[in-house]
Amino acid sequence: MPLARFAATHLGSLEDLKVLALCVEERDRWHDAPAIARTLGIPRGTARAALEHLARNNLLDLRITGDLRYRFRPGTSELESQALALVDAYRRNPGQASEAIVFGE
């Protein structure tokens, strides 16, 4: 399954998937770890780690202001289409998509 392969390659946890989904849904907005943490109800450190992981995997742009901010902007059109397909599958059926994805920890 290509989506599972994409997830195994580019995501490290279910939180990464949740952060990616939020960034995709609000793709024109710049996000920081505190706002992601509040929105998703996860610890700030978890949000920060997920944002950094996604940025290292060429899925997010970085902007340094007073704080580090991130925005969905994959480095290639292939990465973008795979990320969008994964988030779409996750939004349509979160339980099934989460179970189908095996994250390497």
Confidence (pTM): 0.88
Which CATH number applies to 2-96?
1.10.10.10
58 conformational bin, left if phi > 0, alpha if psi -120 to 50, beta if neither: left
Structure confidence at residue 95 as a pLDDT band (50, 70, 90): confident
Residue range 32-79, pLDDT digits in tens: 999 999 999 999 999 999 999 999 999 999 998 888 999 999 999 999
Residue range 1-27, pLDDT digits in tens: 678 888 888 988 889 999 999 999 999
With contact defined as beta carbons under 8 Å apart, do 101 and 13 qualify?
no
**Cα gap 59→91, rounded to integer Å:** 18
| Bridging pattern class, strands 60-64 and 68-72 | antiparallel
| Strand-pair partners of 72 | 60
